[in-house]
Amino acid sequence: ENPADRRVQLLQATPRGEQLLQEGRQRRVAALAADINGLTEAERAALTAAIPILQQLSLPADHPHRQSA
């Protein structure tokens, strides 16, 4: 329970749950790496050029380092 907001329940994963989460992350990273390896050189360049924009978009709207569109 969160003392600041009793509507909220705080959860903690079991060791097995943590292991499953880690395995899922590893599978997603491997799948993404395989997808990126299948891109053409031009597609990789476009993806590389888009990274700064994607990083900005991943920040919360009120983050001090987020630039407005």
pLDDT in tens, 39-63: 999 999 999 999 999 999 999 888 8
Mean pLDDT of 8-24: 95
Q: Is residue 27 part of a domain?
A: yes
Q: Is residue 38 part of a domain?
A: yes
Name the band, by pLDDT with cuts 50, 70 and 90, for residue 68: low
pLDDT of 69? 56
Domain that holds residue 39: 15-58
The total domain count for the chain is 1
pLDDT of 66? 79
pLDDT of 6? 85
Q: Is residue 69 part of a domain?
A: no
Q: Is residue 46 part of a domain?
A: yes
| Cα–Cα separations (whole angstroms), residue 24 to 10, 19, 29, 32 | 22, 9, 9, 12
Q: Is residue 29 part of a domain?
A: yes
Of the chain, the percentage scoring pLDDT greater than 90 comes to 65
